[in-house]
Amino acid sequence: MIVDLPETTIAKVSRALVTLREEGGAVALGRVLTLVISAESGAAEEAIQAANDASREHPMRVIVVVHEPGGVEAAPRVDAQIRVGGDAGASEVVMLRVWGPAGADEEGLVTGLLLPDAPVVAWWPGPDMPEIIAESPLGRIAQRRISDASAQPDPQRALDHLADTYRPGDTDFAWTRLTLWRAVLAAALDQPPYEQVLGVEVFGAVDSPSTELLAAWLRLALDVPVSVVLSDRSTGSSGIHGVRLMRRSGVIDLERNVPDVATLSQPGQPTQDVSLPRRSLRDCLAEELRRLDPDDLYGQVLTEGLAGLDRGLAEASSTGGL
């Protein structure tokens, strides 16, 4: 069911939610959190679809603040749309399309619509990431704050900025996309001959913040020199290309030459094909919603692991993207 409320107020939206709950049987008793999404016009639907899919694992109320073009010069206006039932997955979606000064106070817009006594997660899926996420209007009311450095015009600079402004509770999808890579590498090192890793090389595209975060994690976890070899974006390949771990007995190579499948080569063992699919927006969001406490490891990798990485630009490798 979809209910449109043009030129409305937050009070009217709240009353409409109560009416839907009483008359249509849509209840909020099973909702475990409120997800607040801040997006620019035209970029909200993909985020809403990901939230709807993730809601089957995490029933929630989704509030989407969509900033329409025109800036502060536009006449203030709020159009709302409420989606429940089959149009909202296992969640209920409240979309607020705002113009002009009506969108200046995002905290005031959403406060009256938050689920009582439930955690709040804020998500900026596009390039409109706040200067300091934790100090933004939505960041101040959220226990977890999700950004995506890969969606920024300059992902590497965005990653450095996130490191400079990090606060506990911040996270980024560039980190979430590493979960499968980290699991495969940890499993490879958890096999004989259990030798110390002497050095690491991480290969990836120059516009892949995940490549640098993976290198930073390995640098912290193994306490060895780590080099990042970046390929020019003109090659068309993106994301992480591969990882090379040097030990006395030989080299462990994890390389993704085709989309979704990587090749794992180890001394004395047959070469293996390993499933390493590109993680969807839904998968990343669902994983981040599984924990509402600060991700201390991400914070350590971001603020400590990135420093001192040896970066270089190399010829592109023929790989699929992250």
The amino acid that residue 217 corresponds to is W
pLDDT value at 23 more than 70: yes
Check residue 319 and give its pLDDT.
38
Check residue 316 and give its pLDDT.
39
What confidence tens digit (pLDDT) does each residue in 28-39 have? 457 889 999 999
d(C-alpha 61, C-alpha 56), whole Å: 12
Q: What is the mean pLDDT of residues 220-246?
A: 85
Q: In the chain, pLDDT over 90 holds for what percent of residues?
A: 72
pLDDT value at 312 more than 90: no
Start-end of H helices in the chain? 10-24, 44-54, 106-111, 155-164, 173-176, 179-189, 209-222, 281-289, 296-300
Cα→Cα distances 234→34, 210, 317, Å? 40, 18, 12
pLDDT range class, residue 90, cuts 50, 70, 90? low
Q: Which residue has the higher pLDDT, 30 or 164?
A: 164
pLDDT range class, residue 88, cuts 50, 70, 90? low
Check residue 314 and give its pLDDT.
58
Check residue 101 and give its pLDDT.
86
- Highest-pLDDT range among 66-70, 73-77, 289-293: 289-293
d(C-alpha 78, C-alpha 86), whole Å: 25
* Structure token digits, residue 262: 């990587």
* Structure token digits, residue 106: 């995002």
- Sign of the CA dihedral with 246 first, then 247, 251, and 257 last: negative
Can you say whether residue 250 is alpha, beta or left, with left for phi > 0 and alpha for psi between -120 and 50 degrees? left
* Structure token digits, residue 117: 């006594």
